[in-house]
């Protein structure tokens, strides 16, 4: 088993494991209601304890080889401004992809660049057959990111989750390692 967390480099980005030095930045970015609104697992308000829990989750997931959580950093300053992950389902050799980017840096292509790189990692390094992602139907920007990354729309999952007493429809995208 590999004991060193993988690092991925793209044209503009560096993806590696989040750590304790990132806690302040994670908390600052995610303590914004937009992330809670657009995701199933990010609470609002978001505290340093939430960030600490997430960093520990990243360590445990890697140790158990069932969750790869990457910090997304700009190469020029190495500061965390987003995250992307693959939650592995070993039984079916597939993974669910999720991501978030600092709202101040939306619409710069960073999410698509990170998604492409992590899909490549999942197929080449982890030998996954399928990577999928879903987003709430009221957030079509996420669909654009997934499409630009080569994923294809597979369908609508009606009332797929419930948050704060409201059911959400999800749009499902996937890509197959052929």
Query: Which pLDDT band holds residue 18 (cuts at 50, 70, 90)?
Result: very high
Preceding peptide of 45 cis, ω within 30°: yes
DSSP for residue 45: S
- pLDDT of residue 3 exceeding 90, the answer is no
Q: Check residue 164 and give its pLDDT.
A: 86
Percent of the chain's residues with pLDDT above 90: 96
Per DSSP bridges, beta strands 94-101 and 130-136 are: parallel
pLDDT mean over 73-81: 94
Query: Which pLDDT band holds residue 127 (cuts at 50, 70, 90)?
Result: very high
- pLDDT of residue 1 exceeding 80, the answer is no
How many C-alpha atoms does 127 have within 13 Å on its Cβ side?
Answer: 1
Q: CA nearest 82: which of 67, 100, 68, 96?
A: 100
Per DSSP bridges, beta strands 94-101 and 13-16 are: unpaired
Q: CA nearest 82: which of 8, 30, 142, 38?
A: 30
pLDDT mean over 13-35: 97
């Amino acid at each position: 088993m590999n004991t060193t967390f993988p690092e991925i480099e793209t044209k503009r980005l560096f993806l590696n494991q989040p750590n304790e030095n990132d806690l302040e930045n994670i908390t600052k970015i995610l303590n914004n209601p937009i992330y809670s609104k657009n995701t199933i697992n990010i609470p609002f308000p978001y505290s340093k304890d939430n960030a600490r829990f997430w960093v520990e989750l990243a360590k445990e997931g890697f140790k158990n080889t069932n969750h790869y959580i990457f910090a997304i950093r700009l190469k020029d300053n190495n500061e965390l401004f987003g995250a992307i992950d693959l939650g592995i389902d070993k039984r079916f050799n597939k993974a669910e992809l999720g991501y978030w980017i600092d709202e101040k840096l939306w619409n710069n292509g960073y999410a698509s660049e990170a998604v492409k790189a992590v899909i490549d990692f999942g197929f080449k390094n982890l030998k996954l057959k399928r990577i999928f992602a879903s987003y709430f139907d009221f957030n079509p920007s996420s669909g654009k990111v997934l499409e630009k990354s080569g994923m294809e729309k597979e369908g609508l999952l009606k009332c797929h989750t419930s948050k704060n007493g409201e059911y959400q429809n999800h749009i499902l995208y996937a890509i197959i390692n052929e």
